[in-house]
Amino acid sequence: MSAIVLTGDELADMIRRLTASDGWMTVKEAAAWARVARATVADWISRGKLPSYAPGGGKRLVRRSDVDRLIRRSHVLPGECTVHDEALAKGRAALAAKRAAAKAAESEGRGWDGDEAVAAEA
């Protein structure tokens, strides 16, 4: 059995034809369609939640109908935060609050120990 070898242009043409015909999308397009990060789509693929096709060249293709089915099955609306996204947002908010408190303590001439402002020693 021999392998089929495609040039870069032939591979790009094949990907374009597949995506145009059967509702195939790249991971980037699927992420935009589902309003999630590309890493989320890659995670769905690696966990077996989203079937994919690898035509070569490092590309992964998924069907729009499979993305839609996954979204409906998981009861997650496109653009809705996942648990991971919510935890990340909370962590970023906590970090921003600590930075603001440290800046306020510095402007008032107080020290900062990482959790609370302390009186600066003279």
pLDDT digits (tens, 9 = 90+) for 31-72: 988 888 999 999 999 999 999 988 887 888 999 889 888 888
Q: Are residues 41 and 67 in the same domain?
A: yes
**Tally of CB atoms within 10 A around 61:** 19
47 within a domain of the structure (yes/no): yes
Q: Are residues 14 and 69 in the same domain?
A: yes
Instruction: Say which CATH number the domain at 59 has.
Output: 1.10.10
Sign of the CA dihedral 108, 109, 113, 119? negative
Q: Are residues 87 and 69 in the same domain?
A: no
Domain count, the chain: 2
25 within a domain of the structure (yes/no): yes
Q: What is the pairing mode between strands 59-63 and 111-112?
A: unpaired
* pTM of the shown model: 0.47
How far apart CA 19 and CA 15 sit, in angstroms, is: 6
Q: Are residues 41 and 98 in the same domain?
A: no
1 within a domain of the structure (yes/no): no
Q: Are residues 16 and 62 in the same domain?
A: yes
Domain that holds residue 108: 83-118
Residues 115-122 have a mean pLDDT of 50
pLDDT digits (tens, 9 = 90+) for 64-77: 889 888 888 776 55
Q: Do residues 84 and 90 make contact, with C-beta atoms less than 8 angstroms apart?
A: no
